[in-house]
Amino acid sequence: MAMDGKVCIHCREVNPVDARECRNCGRFFIHRPGAAQGDDSATLEALKRPEVLCALVLIVSLFLPWFTILFFSLSAIQLLGLFKGSVASSMRYGAGTTLALARLFIALIPAGSLAVIVIALRGGSAILIGKITGLLPIGVFLLFFMQGSNILSMMGAGFVIAILAGIGLFAFSRGRG
């Protein structure tokens, strides 16, 4: 049987060619003049995937305050070049290694998040990259927590959002079912 008609991008129901809305789910067919039918529907659907939304939130959280030291709020981007003086001296052991690992993890967060987004836009699933990227904010937290650097009193909104978005990215990074 040939499929002659409009296929709804939401429920995959085949509708008559002249239909203005899907007879199954009721969503309207929107066609822009001069555009190929369904040319960007896959892109819009990819941007609605939970792992892509979590990756976008994770990128945004890099620019929100992660730590507050005295009166200064620092974003994750600012942390890449900081943490040399007062914070390092308050650490118990291996401050240089801890700071190097924290900088590496913070630098890998946007790279992994962008990889998840790009792969999703191309129609794939970045399971391993998503899971690893989702664990990076928790890794940064654990590095400083184990050092006893009083991270709980310094955590800013961005750090909390990054941890929550990372947990979401970890949870939602799975194969398409």
Helix (H) / strand (E) element for 101: namely helix 95-121
- Return the pLDDT at 2: 47
- Return the pLDDT at 56: 94
Residues paired with residue 28 on neighbouring β-strands, in sequence order: 21
Taking each helix axis from N to C end, the angle separating 157-172 and 127-147, rounded to the nearest 10 degrees, works out to 140
* Tokens 């654990």 sit on residue: 142
49 C-beta neighbours (distance < 10 Å), count: 17
- Return the pLDDT at 60: 93
Per-residue pLDDT of the chain (177 residues; tens, 9 = 90+): 445 788 888 888 888 888 888 888 888 877 655 545 454 666 778 788 899 999 999 999 988 888 776 667 778 877 766 554 445 455 566 677 877 888 899 999 999 999 999 998 888 888 999 999 999 999 988 888 887 767 777 778 888 999 999 999 999 988 654
Q: Is the pTM of this model over 0.75?
A: no
List the domain boundaries for the chain. 1-36, 44-172
| Structure letter (DSSP) for residue 85 | S
Contact indicator for 136, 160 with CB cutoff of 8 Å: no
Half-sphere exposure of 150 (CA within 13 A, CB side): 10
